[in-house]
Amino acid sequence: MIEVRAVAWDDPAGARLRVEQKTEISARYGVDDSEPGPPPTADDITVFLVAYDGDEPVGCGGLRQLDPAHGEVKRMYVVPSRRGTGVSTAVLRRLEDEARSRGWNRLVLETGTEQPDAMRFYEREGYAAIASFGYYRDSVHSRCYGRDL
């Protein structure tokens, strides 16, 4: 059974998962840092979640507030051995619940051209392609999605 917990940004399990995500993204894009904007930090992440299977951290995701009614999904990641098992859906649903509890009515996110699996996942979960926004506006690799809550 997957348990999704809110943790501090500097939580060791969350930090390790973010390093694994960055390593995978770097390999997919062939660069050390493919993020067009400033990376998330403890100062701008509203909530960060880690999914556990027992004591094992298997996925994560966070929210960054964009304005009083909107947020951005950041650092969604599931360890490769647990993909396709419902971990990502559990994290995303909890992020959506967290957003609603803050009075937000829309979430947006950015993924990229070298992440077709992520694009399929978000589309399956009800997110629609939107125009690139913010720091992603001029990124040729960015693909942005949004969903009303």
17-74 tens-digit pLDDT: 999 999 999 898 888 877 788 889 999 999 999 999 999 999 999 999 999 999 999 9
CB neighbours of residue 108 within 10 Å: 19
Whether the CB-CB separation of 40 and 64 falls below 8 Å is answered with yes
Query: What is the fold, at CATH topology level, of the domain defined by 2-105?
Result: Aminopeptidase (3.40.630)
Joined tokens for residue 135: 């720091």
In 3D space, the residue among 62, 71, 46, 118 whose CA is nearest the CA of residue 94 turns out to be: 62
Read off the pLDDT of residues 96-105 as tens digits, 9 standing for 90 and up.
999 999 999 9
Tokens in use for 43?
């100062």
Per-chain mean pLDDT for the chain:
95
Domain extent listing, the chain: 2-105
The structure tokens listed for 84 are 């396709």
Query: 0.85 cut: is pTM over it?
Result: yes
Strand-pair partners of 71: 65, 107
